[in-house]
Structure 1
């Protein structure tokens, strides 16, 4: 995977992953938690060469901030097997490195794509080595654990580091890995945890480039090694799988297993929403009468239950609502859709939502473990029961088509940036191979200010 020509035909798909990530970052740049993060970080971090998306500024901390923006509304991509939102970690890191190196080594579109794929291939492999979604069941937030290595892999391609330097960078980045899943309930910092991973990789690369040594054999070490330490508490046997880190290199392409999300919700609730949508499509008249419902049961795998099956308390905040399966259910039941506008301050705690919330019961079903499958059962006051089971949500199997991703890009950025800027970014990304200097072209387009459409 040393050169762009050594890659399989993933360029088109990777460009749509980038476009989707930029939509998420532009939308997230001016959200309240993003503004707070920006205002805090720019006080303590100096100006630099790297674009802060949507702020018309350049700062050293761009990777951290842009990752925070990209993950800021829970609508960024996800790997279907090992739960990592790779774009939120890799794209900000690669963009920052490309701009940092721009004055001496302009980064071409092909080089940019190669770096992106390197990150997309690394993060999920680290995730598989730790048991994938099992990490969520023992309290780790998987992305800031899996992500630092992905950031290193991507940025190492931009700087053309040697194998020894890359190993040092991995050892430096992986010792910074961390992320607690309790961040999902009410904290703003949940939005930033992917950014910590992105920044860790960039920092590790530049430290290694200057000769700073890192932990050698960081994944394999039997005393405080990455895999052994993070898998502590796992109830599987074996607890970790070191062979997964390099398994299928050059043959299995994890970039192709990454999916764009149709809903601004944590991925584990997408199938729940689609089960409700399925019932609404089959029984529209009955499902319109949601006030006649008395019980809603949602069944899911252990990982989804642990991450999102909890009962929210009033008042809900945006982070908690987006991470909560019951909240996803009530939005689809009452509004027949799940879109960003529903999370605006005036709509988040409507009384009708909380009335439906009282009916919902989530539970773990062992037969669904290690799958996306879910079942929803709705009981009405006259005793009628409607039930459906789906093996996977829309956007996972199959993934969104390129046309659907393009529609999402246009819908998400509508009102956030001008139509002219929207078209120019779209054209640039979808023709990235023709770009000779990504930092010069893309940085300028992303730097302009954005609007907060959720005010």
Structure 2
């Protein structure tokens, strides 16, 4: 296919980023963006002083000079790029942050750190209306870039999808805040997309799993800053046939057609992907949530089903391919929090034993419980190819419980989509999550100030107070 025959996707996206105003956006979308921001900051407050966060932060601080940008919860300031990297790693630090239902990316961990660092880096004052608009751009662009690659398909092939889709999102958001021209926005996205990457094998116990969206936040911010200084990037990067973003990351795609680049700009400004960003009710990877909800349904309908470990022969969980590849494996002892949070059998065992899959299920002492591991050994995940047919079936999960007593009838439950995906958590539920996660982490007055500042974004005020309170020292999560 010749270059001129390819639809001008990059140009259309850049024109939209440049021209978008708050007055163009439905109030529902604006309000949801504020609550997504609040949820992202809750995740950062919980994650800023976990052991792996402290290791990473100390290492980065040892390499970097002081600067104008806050390292959240540390009372430290560095330059914009390391600030974006570290603050993103805090949001991603405990598997509590948002994700898109079809195009897997943790949007807050990419967009917020880039914009907060950029706002403090700039000498001119940024209003909260400008910040909100730029954040909304980033939340919308990230999932759409992923839709050009069938969303979750790239995850099944071993890429850490959010780290692949994220640089363009951060670049678009930062470009909007910088008020770049259409041409420079295209340069920024071109510089960002050539830095995309991330391997999903990071989930098997590494600290770097928590930082890969931070690479995207840092690289996208770097791209926009370079473009603002007249450094040029790849033109038509999303659609160019040889070496382009979609054409290259689409190599090896398992769907037919292998890529869907038209979806990046399809109904742009009409159908809002922000409204398909999910907020997590559980402290585990998204593909484990359907498994948790299967257990919950069994517990609701058959309260005694898991009372006797020895009576259960096996628990089989059927999943789509993306869910199976990412979460259908069982870790072995000893395990770290990262691996445990990425495993559907482990998450299901927590729900069976504790009737809860939240922060305390993954503190070190909880990871050593024999009763959890005995249940993990009972659970086997399998791939059901029928669940791969279309986007709505990708969330399907079926759980079957068989018993040692052959005369006892097996139990089966089906979940079409987990809580948090369908239905989405309401804004009220997100507010409750914010308050629950932060209640023991920061002073009550500080918590109220952050909440008030975020939910009033768009009023035209300044952001200095929000950045100041985010920089204050936070407590370490109990149990670590």
TM class by shorter chain equals: over 0.9
| Stretch deviating more after TM superposition (15-24 or 291-300) | 291-300
Structure 1: gaps of 5 or more residues = none
Contact 1:290/1:333 (<8 A) preserved: no
* Corresponding residue number in structure 1 for 2:271: 252
* Corresponding residue number in structure 2 for 1:65: 86
* Corresponding residue number in structure 2 for 1:275: 294
- Given candidates 433, 442, 447, the residue that maps to 2:466 is 442
1:192 matches 2:211: yes
* Corresponding residue number in structure 2 for 1:237: 256
Contact 1:428/1:435 (<8 A) preserved: no
Q: Cα distance, 1:385 vs. partner?
A: 1.9
Structure 2: gaps of 5 or more residues = 1-18
SS of match in other structure, 1:288 = coil
- Given candidates 75, 78, 90, the residue that maps to 2:99 is 78
1:343 matches 2:368: no
1:379 matches 2:402: yes
Q: Cα distance, 1:42 vs. partner?
A: 0.9
Q: Cα distance, 1:2 vs. partner?
A: 2.1
- Given candidates 137, 147, 150, the residue that maps to 1:128 is 147
Aligned length: 452
Matches within 5 A, 1:28-427: 28-60=47-79, 61-101=82-122, 103-104=123-124, 106-369=125-388, 370=391, 371-382=394-405, 383-427=408-452
Distance in 1, matches of 2:306 and 2:372, equals 15
* Corresponding residue number in structure 1 for 2:20: 2
TM-score (norm 2): 0.92
Distance in 1, matches of 2:178 and 2:431, equals 31
Distance in 1, matches of 2:437 and 2:320, equals 30
Contact 2:298/2:305 (<8 A) preserved: no
Contact 1:274/1:393 (<8 A) preserved: yes
> Deviations along 1:83-114, whole A, 9 cap, x unmatched?
1111110011111111112x32x221211111
Distance in 2, matches of 1:241 and 1:139, equals 19
SS of match in other structure, 1:407 = helix
Distance in 1, matches of 2:355 and 2:403, equals 18
Q: Cα distance, 1:311 vs. partner?
A: 2.3
Distance in 2, matches of 1:428 and 1:437, equals 9
Q: Cα distance, 1:289 vs. partner?
A: 3.0
| Stretch deviating more after TM superposition (355-364 or 23-32) | 355-364
Distance in 2, matches of 1:355 and 1:32, equals 27
> Deviations along 1:405-441, whole A, 9 cap, x unmatched?
1110011112111112111111111112235211x12
Q: Cα distance, 1:333 vs. partner?
A: 1.0
Q: Cα distance, 1:226 vs. partner?
A: 1.0
Distance in 2, matches of 1:69 and 1:400, equals 22
Distance in 2, matches of 1:144 and 1:450, equals 27
